[in-house]
Chain A
Amino acid sequence: MPRFDPLALGVMGHAIAMVAEEMGAVLVRSALSPNIRERRDASCALFDAGGRMVAQAAHIPVHLGAMPAAVRAAMGRRPGPGDVLLLNHPSHGGSHLPDLTMVEAIADESGTSVIGYAAVRAHHADVGGMSPGSMPFGARELVQEGLVLPPVFLERGGRPVDDVWAIVLANVRTPDERRGDLAAQRAACRAGAEGWRALRQRTGVETLDAAGAALLDYAERRARERLRPLEGARGAAEDFLEGDGVTDADIRIAVSAAVRDGTLHLDFGGTAPRVAGNVNCPRAVVQAAAVFVLRMLLDDDVPTNDGLARAVSLSIPPGSAIDARDGAAVAAGNVEMSQRLTDAIVRALDAAGLPVPAQGQGTMNNVVFGGAGWTFYETLGGGQGASARGPGPSGVHVGMSNTRITPIESLERAYPLEVVHYGIRAGSGGAGRHRGGDGVVRSYRALDSCTVTLLTERRRHAPRGAAGGGDGARGRNLLNGVEVPAKCRLELQAGDVVTIETPGGGGWGG
């Protein structure tokens, strides 16, 4: 490999990032469902011919380090130039089933060889399974959660594989919307492929290959530079998920962190074994949490690519709740286990003496309403942890999520629900020299009979303060003013009011 001119690195960094951003722009502006368009629960990434991720346009961190596994799985099917695959299987590059990942094997100008991969992951509002929204409460098997897709060909030899489209659309509740969102993903892949081809033509094959490799090295170098002053630091932490939707028993997540030889080593020994319910997660989600925490320590301008992952090493106990395989249910793992993994890693770094913030709300507060012919899914912000630099922000998504709230006026127009109250949960942030951010209160009144599924956390174990700061307030879920469990499915009559009080963030400093 020829050495790449460091003076040209900035130019190529912009050029490659530009292609990934273009994919994101096409996806967000053309997708149909609010979940992708408004909440931006989606990610786009570009890979070189060897399957190394050279750029990612991140809208949501939970996909951060997880896309390479999807492309590796797709490459295992040996796609030809221009072929497109679709997957969501957690053991084959997926995260949880609603995240459909599309991968295009980018053809060169002559259409004879594969010169890279464009990958687009988007959270779809429904992929079938036992309950609308495909985030079922109480699922024990993967097949209950929706249609399971190992990498399958969606286009082959320049033609759509109609049978696969037919199977996908026949197994979801809202096929028109799925068709629209998949078309948007397809358009985004195409934009990535065209951009990559054009860039290759402009710079030349060897320059682009060398630039890709140099950018990975550069990101790795920046990450290791950041870790260098922390060499020798070590610390351990444990944290808990509050039940798996089948039982209420705590599920332990343990991690010990050490910075050694410029690498962040994370050992999850002691983490609970696979659970019956659906808070398990595949290794790719652990990878995403680890890269997210590393990213938190880095400056904003460090490029997001596979080079970052080289500065992290993971040890994950086989058969544990964070090594989901063999049909383990995972729907909530991606949204809640990912939060707790982040919390645990951050706390281990705190124990190691790193300047990290107190814990944030640590849950996405998943709320799914469903009635005759409709489903509505949203997640609620809460308090962010305070840090040495200042108080924690209030009413935001923390950690691995960053999706937006649905406007009250849009929600009420579309569904038979009324938002009775939506405000800051004053005083819920932890005390301290810097206060933790406050959670929110959101109350919904059912105008028709319907069901609501709540998938929430931090109702038992409060978000912890840091450096002597107080804990944030635990969250609460209420039906007509009476507390209900953190994870439950409720049948509502017209007039019933469901209230979610989200957790506050931990305070910082005594």
Chain B
Amino acid sequence: MTWAVGVDVGGTFTDAVAIGADGRCLAAKVPTTPHDQSAGVLAAIEALGIRAEGIDRVAHGTTVVTNLLLERSGARVVLCATAGATDLLRLRRQDRAALYDLAADHAPPLVAADAVVGVTERVGARGVATPLADDVVAAVVASVRGQHPEIVAVALLFAHEAPAHEQRLAAALRAALRAALPAGVDVVCSHEVLPEIREFERTATTAAEAYARPRVARYLAALEARLAARGLPAPLVVTSSGGMLPAGVAARHAAALALSGPAGGVVGAAAVCRAARVPLALTVDIGGTSADVGVVVDGAPLVEAGGDVAGVPIALPRVLVETVSAGGGSIAWADDGGALRVGPRSAGARPGPACYGLGGTEPTVTDAHVVLGTVQARSLAGGVALDAARAHEAVGRLAAVLGAEPTRVARAIIASADAAMARALRRVSVERGLDPRTATLVPFGGGGPLHACGLAEHLGMHEILVPPFAGVLSALGLAMAPERRDGLASVLAGAEGLDAAAVGAACAAADTATDGVHLPDVAFTARVRYAGQGHEVETPVAPGDDGPAIAARFAASHRTRFGFALERPVELVSLRATRSGAAHAIALSRTGDGASAWDDAAPRDDGGTLARTVRGPVSVALPDATLHVALGWTATALGIGGWHLTREG
């Protein structure tokens, strides 16, 4: 039998899930190996206990890029920028780091001021204003060479429209630096990384690509070698936008891997939504220190234009994930205004909640669950024995400060964490014109199924889908997701003036940029706005569309999202092509062996065959999480694994 394997690297654990051709699933959890994640990846695959020859695919979500951006441990980059605009990385968009904290500053840019080389040339909105002269090219090359870079970034004004200057300069740099390092010195151009208007965002993204690329390439090469040595296939790597790239291609899209980890979770939730035929879902992944919130529409993660990662602006498309500092380890405290507060400080994995008995003494959200009995001592995964007495002590001390009953305080701690997460869920949905009341909540991660009912009630939601393997859902989703590549082409033209041939040409350019025309499925999306607007709406493009057809579709979705449309010219900013392979044909199912023996006194779902409906309040132990079914909710075990919850009334 053949298996597809997904491996997700988190801060503490590396998770692996294998899906067999017959729908059987296996899961494993091993400690993450921070110095070289590939060791943990291999260990996790081996912990699954299946033979290497049977594995025909390994899909991988990595935090390598996120970590190197956080640690600022990327490559030494020299940036070539249009003379007169060499400070863009430092100036950003002139917004300050914090509205009221005047001392706060943004993280320093990835390229220091003295590593930026000005290039005397200029392209404007009306074409080339100052040609790029040969002696300028020579001088820039000499200056770059003198800086001994590991890699060079080139980002010139208007290169998204007219890339010729970037191309010429890059060719000269590559030729001159060929011998500078054993592997040569790579040159990264902005028109290739992000062919879109807005010079700061394009330059910053290009700098991030250059900064991350050498180390990412080394990591992926090492991983591939490690897997090959065991007879395993080369990995596919998930991108921030939920794409899935072969390792060799991913190594040249380092900036696109910045949110590989969190994107994997939403990709997993989307796979389960497709299996359960859920049209609109809000997803929440609750871990120890934070909760990640996302949206799944028609079985696909919602993808948007980028923002910051670790203070580094990366404007590439990304799966929408909003992080809230609220999780099982969030610490509850009383502030000087006499209010109960939860987070943002977290006990993390070490010392962890008081009930872990690892030295934590402050009450956390998990401790509140223990006090209320929603998490029971024996139900925690990972072999940690919970010490209920310590949880009671910690919550009791806070209760004394607040002058309230410990169980009331415990309930308030959970309600407060719920409110913070609900606020984020509501924000991500209403900002996109989606009504949470019409959506299904998909909770996962160790804490997701515990908080699901509370969150749903805050948001007026009536349906919850607890996915199978809720504690390792990212890995499951990676195992299921097809290969997928994105390509971008700049358009920036009025929709009125675009005939079907012009739209087709832009689609073809974007498709070529995917570098994946061998993959069978292709879809196109345009970024569209009213002339004068600064924000675009992602609008699907159908074969044969002309500009006005796209404009009409855009107006309809503008009306849905914002409640109005305008009599105003419509502009296409850019086109994105998405090439994908056939989805991995698997059917999730509860398997016969190890059928769950149900015990009303201690409900437990091991993933085996189970037909059961229960009414809240009740807690059900899942293999790696706890499901809390609140009063007023009914839960039914699903045939694909996991649970479906509905609220009465």
- List the interface of chain A (C-beta within 8 A of B): 6-11, 13-15, 17-18, 21-22, 25-26, 28-30, 32-34, 37-38, 58, 61, 176-177, 179-180, 183-184, 187, 190-191, 198, 202, 218-219, 221-222, 225, 292, 295-296, 298, 300-301, 357, 360, 380-381, 384-385, 387, 389-398, 402-405, 407-410, 412-413, 418-424, 440
Contact = CB atoms under 8 A, between A and B. Distances in A.
A409 B90 contact: no
What 3 pairs across the A-B complex have the smallest Cβ distances? Answer: A30-B562, A381-B94, A7-B412
Contact of B423 (A17, A202, A222, A387): A17
Given A176-B567, A298-B100, A18 B534 contact: no
Contacts of A292: 100
Nearest to B408: A7
B90 A395 contact: yes
A395 B566 contact: no
Contact of A183 (B199, B427, B564): B564
A396 B94 contact: yes
B91 A11 contact: no
Nearest to B426: A18
Given A33-B532, A222-B337, A176 B568 contact: yes
B105 interface: yes
Nearest to B457: A202
A423 B91 contact: yes
B95 A397 contact: yes
Contacts of A391: 105
Nearest to B87: A423
Contact of B533 (A14, A37, A58): A37
Contacts of B561: 29-30
Given A183-B564, A397-B95, A38 B85 contact: no
Given A29-B535, A440-B94, 8 more contacts: A7-B404, A61-B99, A198-B460, A222-B335, A395-B91, A396-B94, A407-B201, A413-B492
15 contacts: A7-B409, A22-B430, A26-B430, A29-B561, A30-B562, A30-B563, A61-B99, A387-B103, A396-B95, A398-B102, A404-B93, A408-B157, A409-B198, A410-B534, A424-B113
Contacts of B103: 357, 387, 389-390, 392
B96 A423 contact: no
A421 to B, nearest CB: 4
B606 to A, nearest CB: 35
Interface stretch (B217-225, B238-246, B414-422): B414-422
Interface of B: 84-88, 90-106, 113, 124-125, 129, 157-158, 160, 197-201, 335-342, 402, 404, 408-409, 412, 415-416, 418-420, 422-423, 426-427, 430-431, 458, 460, 492, 530, 532-535, 558, 561-564, 566-568
A32 B84 contact: no
A454 B418 CA distance: 50
A480 B562 CA distance: 45
Contacts of B113: 424
B253 to A, nearest CB: 24
A342 B93 CA distance: 23
- Which of A22, A381, A423 counts the most B-chain CB atoms under 10 A from its CB? A423
A190 B563 CA distance: 10
- Which of B100, B426, B431 counts the most A-chain CB atoms under 10 A from its CB? B100
B191 to A, nearest CB: 13
B534 A34 contact: yes
A6 B402 contact: yes
A198 to B, nearest CB: 7
B250 to A, nearest CB: 29
Contacts of B492: 413
A25 B336 contact: no
A222 B336 contact: yes
Contacts of B90: 394-395, 424
B577 to A, nearest CB: 23
Contacts of B431: 25-26, 29
Nearest to B105: A393
A397 B96 contact: yes
Contact of B84 (A179, A183, A389, A422): A422
Contacts of A191: 430
A346 to B, nearest CB: 9
A58 B99 CA distance: 9
Given A29-B535, A396-B94, A398-B102, A180 B566 contact: yes
- Which of B336, B337, B341 counts the most A-chain CB atoms under 10 A from its CB? B337
A296 B102 contact: yes
Contacts of B94: 380-381, 395-397, 403-405, 440
Nearest to A191: B430
A418 B340 contact: no
A67 B158 CA distance: 41
Contacts of B104: 393
A10 B339 contact: yes
Nearest to B341: A10
B35 to A, nearest CB: 32
Contact of B564 (A18, A30, A396, A421): A30
B534 A402 contact: no
A202 B342 contact: no
A403 B408 CA distance: 44
A391 B102 CA distance: 10
B404 to A, nearest CB: 6
A387 B426 contact: no
Contact of B102 (A8, A29, A387, A407): A387
Contact of A418 (B129, B427, B534): B129
A390 B104 CA distance: 9
Nearest to B129: A418
A357 B339 contact: no
B427 A25 contact: yes
B611 to A, nearest CB: 35
Nearest to B91: A395
A78 B99 CA distance: 35
A38 B534 contact: yes
Contacts of A301: 341
A187 B198 contact: no
A122 to B, nearest CB: 14
B195 to A, nearest CB: 12
A422 B562 contact: no
Nearest to B344: A301
Given A7-B402, A357-B103, A394-B90, A409 B339 contact: no
Contact of B106 (A392, A393, A412): A393
A410 B418 CA distance: 41
Nearest to A215: B339
A402 B95 contact: yes
B23 to A, nearest CB: 41
B127 to A, nearest CB: 11
A216 to B, nearest CB: 12
Nearest to B534: A38
Contact of B340 (A6, A221, A390): A6
- Which of A33, A300, A385 counts the most B-chain CB atoms under 10 A from its CB? A300
Given A14-B423, A397-B96, A404-B95, A187 B338 contact: no
A156 to B, nearest CB: 20
Contacts of A183: 564, 566
A66 B98 CA distance: 20
A34 B94 CA distance: 15
B107 to A, nearest CB: 11
Contacts of B160: 409
- Which of B88, B102, B158, B564 counts the most A-chain CB atoms under 10 A from its CB? B102
Nearest to A440: B91
A486 B458 CA distance: 53
B84 A61 contact: no
Nearest to A25: B431
Nearest to A295: B100
- Which of A21, A38, A219, A407 counts the most B-chain CB atoms under 10 A from its CB? A407
B118 to A, nearest CB: 10
Given A61-B99, A298-B100, A409 B197 contact: yes
Contacts of B95: 396-397, 402-404
Contact of A34 (B339, B420, B458, B532): B532
